[in-house]
């Protein structure tokens, strides 16, 4: 994916439209025949000019939603109206998903989470209400006329994020745009115009009227961008992070000359970048969240001790709880909350490995506790080494290499990922003469711990050990 601006905007637009032709031009002719305007708008135009991959197509029109439905009836393969109250009709044609939105303006009442929508009649006026000038460009259809009334092309050349009008007006209309500015900085690597930066700082408190779900979606897009440090720094510097992810700016712990430790905030950003460098199949939101949040328990657990040392005892446990609470507040899915908080909880476990003193039982438990998160835990643990001491960094890497080799050996010998007790629940009930209930669960856990500690011992030995354990239980 490229971020290099094409030297021929008209050709780039035509190339994009011809690539999805006859769909785009055909749709333009359908609207023109019905007496209405249609234009490709926003992200697809921006990305075409940047030479980026374009998937979804967004169109805008002077036709009202009910009229759009009439026009596309018989042309679209499928239609949905989930966004009709905001003037948007979704449809599918072949392999393409399309959104068509009526020219509009929208604004938020200071105390409301929902925008008030008013329909318009002008493409230029519709572009004025777009979040940023780079998203306020369009191509009329079916003639491919390039429309750029607010200097979006110049901003692409300057790699600048700027609003079409006054940023205060734009952010007043939709405060979420402040987060979008940071998101586009992350995705495109662009800098934010000084006036936009000042407005974000001044109006940061307005973000609190936006729903947690919308904030979450922007944060996820920011984190999975190409330059997340750039976006996160913007959030922290403008005060937005204090409103939506307050644990992040709190990592900027005050450091005095007597008690020195790493800059936890800077360390966390470096860990994020080093985790990203290990990704193999594109952005991994769970890994990136865990890398960013892995040390958020440190401010609450910091303690000063004699000799100028600083400790953060059990910060991984506290951090796991804090991560869970924050991600729940942001309405992340349960599996994301569970996976991220588990990775935060486990991120220090490796440091008990020393130079390889763990028994095979300890290695089995490391694998068992990580479960399906083990590949991510490997990446997070390696990323967490940010020391500038090359010899120390190399020693840590070698030690983790050794642990991974031991895991691979045990995996080959014992199929670690499939570890189960030698006896299942039905067999436990038969041996001990039990009916289903909590006692069977306790017996199962005993056998699982035995399996982790001793490796495969066979059913006969497991049965003997189970009987002895049960006798000891009284």
User: 108 or 123, which is more confident?
Assistant: 123
Confidence of residue 285 (pLDDT cuts 50, 70, 90): very high
d(CA 335, CA 18): 41
Question: Token pair for residue 385?
Answer: 């080494």
Residue 198 to residues 168, 183, 234, 243, 269, Cα–Cα distance (Å): 9, 17, 11, 17, 24
Across-strand partners of 39?
Answer: 60, 140
pLDDT confidence of residue 425: 86
User: Counting every residue, how long is the chain?
Assistant: 474
E strands in 77-152: 78-80, 88-93, 96-102, 104-108, 115-119, 138-140, 146-147
For the residues 230-239, what does the mean pLDDT come to? 97
pLDDT tens-digit readout, 17-29: 777 657 888 999 9
- Residue pair 37/123 in contact (Cβ under 8 Å)? The answer is yes
Question: Token pair for residue 53?
Answer: 């991959």
Question: How would DSSP label each residue in 369-399?
Answer: HHGGGHHHHHHHHHHT---S-HHHHHHHHHH
Of the chain, the percentage scoring pLDDT greater than 70 comes to 91
Q: Which residue has the tokens 């569970």?
A: 338
**Closest C-alpha among 1, 196, 26 to residue 96:** 26
56-60, 96-100, 217-221, 258-262 — most confident range = 217-221
pLDDT tens-digit readout, 56-99: 789 999 999 999 999 999 999 999 998 898 899 999 998 888 99
Residue 116 to residues 69, 107, 122, 174, 211, Cα–Cα distance (Å): 22, 5, 18, 10, 15
d(CA 130, CA 133): 7
Neighbour count for residue 284 (Cβ, 10 Å): 20
Question: Token pair for residue 7?
Answer: 């030297």
Please tell me the least confidently modeled range out of 257-266, 385-394, 434-443.
257-266
Q: Which residue has the tokens 């017996």?
A: 443
3-state SS assignment for residue 59: strand
Q: Which domains are assigned to the chain? A: 1-158 (3.30.460.10), 164-245 (1.10.110.30), 263-418 (no CATH), 425-472 (no CATH)
Of the chain, the percentage scoring pLDDT greater than 90 comes to 56
pLDDT tens-digit readout, 4-19: 566 676 777 777 677 7
**Closest C-alpha among 243, 135, 242, 247 to residue 187:** 135
pLDDT confidence of residue 259: 45
Confidence of residue 257 (pLDDT cuts 50, 70, 90): very low
Say whether pLDDT at 249 is over 80: yes
User: 365 or 180, which is more confident?
Assistant: 180
3-state SS assignment for residue 308: helix
- Residue pair 384/294 in contact (Cβ under 8 Å)? The answer is yes
Cβ neighbours for 263, distance < 8 A, ≥ 6 positions apart:
252, 253, 255
pLDDT confidence of residue 170: 92
Say whether pLDDT at 277 is over 60: yes
Say whether pLDDT at 112 is over 90: no
**Closest C-alpha among 33, 22, 99, 25 to residue 60:** 99
Cβ neighbours for 268, distance < 8 A, ≥ 6 positions apart:
248, 251, 291, 292, 293, 294, 295
Say whether pLDDT at 261 is over 60: no
Please tell me the least confidently modeled range out of 197-201, 218-222, 448-452.
448-452
């Amino acid at each position: 994916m490229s971020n290099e601006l094409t030297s021929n905007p008209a050709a780039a637009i035509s190339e994009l439209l011809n690539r999805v032709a006859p769909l785009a031009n055909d749709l333009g002719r359908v609207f023109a025949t019905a007496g209405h305007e249609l234009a490709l708008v926003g992200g697809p135009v921006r990305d075409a000019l940047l030479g980026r991959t374009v998937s979804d197509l967004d169109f805008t029109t002077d036709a009202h939603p009910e009229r759009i439905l009439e026009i596309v009836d018989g042309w679209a393969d499928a239609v949905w109206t989930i966004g009709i109250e905001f003037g948007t009709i979704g449809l599918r044609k072949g392999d393409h998903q399309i959104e068509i939105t009526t020219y509009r303006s929208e604004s938020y009442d200071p105390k409301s989470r929902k925008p008030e929508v008013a329909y318009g009649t002008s493409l230029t006026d519709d572009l004025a209400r777009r979040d940023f000038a780079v998203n306020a460009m369009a191509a009329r259809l079916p003639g491919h006329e390039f429309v750029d009334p607010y200097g979006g092309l110049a901003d692409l050349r300057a790699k600048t994020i700027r609003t079409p009008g006054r940023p205060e007006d734009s952010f007043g209309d939709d405060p979420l745009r402040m987060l979008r500015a940071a998101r586009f900085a992350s995705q495109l690597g662009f800098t934010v115009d000084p006036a936009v930066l000042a407005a974000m700082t001044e109006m940061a408190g307005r973000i609190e009227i936006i729903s947690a779900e919308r904030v979450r979606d922007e944060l996820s897009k920011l984190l999975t961008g190409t330059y997340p440090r750039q976006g996160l720094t913007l959030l922290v510097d403008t005060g937005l992070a204090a409103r939506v992810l307050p644990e992040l700016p709190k990592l900027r712990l005050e450091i005095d000359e007597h008690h020195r430790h790493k800059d936890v905030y800077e360390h966390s950003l470096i860990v994020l970048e080093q985790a990203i460098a290990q990704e193999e199949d594109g952005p991994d939101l769970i890994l990136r969240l865990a890398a960013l949040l892995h040390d958020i328990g440190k401010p609450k657990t910091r303690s000063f001790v004699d000799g100028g040392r600083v400790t953060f005892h059990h910060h991984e446990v506290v951090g796991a709880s804090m991560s869970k609470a924050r991600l729940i507040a942001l309405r992340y899915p349960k599996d994301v909350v569970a996976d991220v908080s588990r990775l935060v909880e486990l991120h220090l476990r490796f440091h008990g490995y020393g130079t390889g003193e763990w028994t095979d039982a300890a290695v089995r438990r490391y694998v068992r506790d990580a479960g399906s998160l083990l590949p991510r835990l490997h990446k997070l643990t390696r990323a967490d080494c940010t020391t500038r001491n090359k010899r120390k960094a190399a020693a840590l890497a070698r030690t983790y290499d050794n642990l991974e080799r031991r895991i691979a050996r045990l995996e080959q010998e014992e199929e670690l990922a499939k570890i189960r007790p030698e006896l299942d629940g039905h067999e436990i009930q038969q041996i001990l003469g039990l009916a289903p209930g909590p006692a069977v669960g306790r017996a199962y856990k005993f056998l699982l711990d035995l399996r982790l500690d001793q490796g495969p011992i066979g059913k006969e030995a497991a049965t003997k050990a189970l009987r002895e354990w049960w006798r000891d239980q009284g």
